[in-house]
Amino acid sequence: MTEIAGVGAFDPTNTREAKDWARMQDFVAARGAAAFSRDPLIGGHVTGSAFILSPDRSAVLLTHHRKLDIWIQLGGHCDGIADARFVALKEAYEESGLSRIRLLSDQVLDVDIHQIPEGKEPAHLHYDARFLMQAEAGDIAVSDESHDLAWVPLDQLEDYTQERSVLQMREKFRLWRSRV
């Protein structure tokens, strides 16, 4: 298991994860604090995401993202905060409306590096660190960043999304659950 300052500790379980983790380490080492900025002109930035389970851990909270028009996990930009875990939790609260969310592990659950298409900014990469969380209290409420929110049963995830990066978090949760 290795750690990246500002991102956390992660234990890759396959070749793709090992490559993405090494790419994230290299990016943060090369860019320093700027890696956590929102400057797309440096090629990308670190983001933090939340895989939020329902209280009984049978479903995950997904957002129908307003800009991307797809169902994905909640999360967002670090905006200069060099603490991806904190950012993931902050975004989880802001985007879900939940009043209490518990971090289930201090470690990174999953990493994903993906291209953000050109829009108001040039195309750039998101170096996304994903954290496992559980809802404990509150009702969900749609934020300005979403068209909708939904508790999606884990065994019906494909009915909402075919995004590899979301489906792989379900598998990472199942692996985590088998270890605890």
Residues 25-52 have pLDDT tens digits of 999 999 999 999 998 789 999 999 999 9
Distance (Å, rounded) from C-alpha 28 to C-alpha 127? 9
Asked whether residue 66 carries a pLDDT value surpassing 90, the answer given is no
Is residue 58 predicted with pLDDT exceeding 90?
Answer: yes
State the greatest distance between any 2 C-alpha atoms of the chain, in Å, as a whole number.
Answer: 43
CATH T-level assignment (fold) for domain 2-179? Nucleoside Triphosphate Pyrophosphohydrolase (3.90.79)
Q: What is the DSSP letter of 154?
A: G
pLDDT for 131 beyond 80: yes
The H-or-E segment that residue 86 falls in is helix 84-96
Judge whether 66 and 76 are in contact, CB under 8 Å.
no
Per-residue pLDDT at 64: 96
- Mean pLDDT, the chain, whole residue set: 95
Nearest residue to 138 (alpha-carbon basis) of 169, 104, 103, 92: 92
The residue ranges of every structural domain in the chain are: 2-179
Question: Whole-angstrom Cα distance, residue 155 to residue 80?
Answer: 36
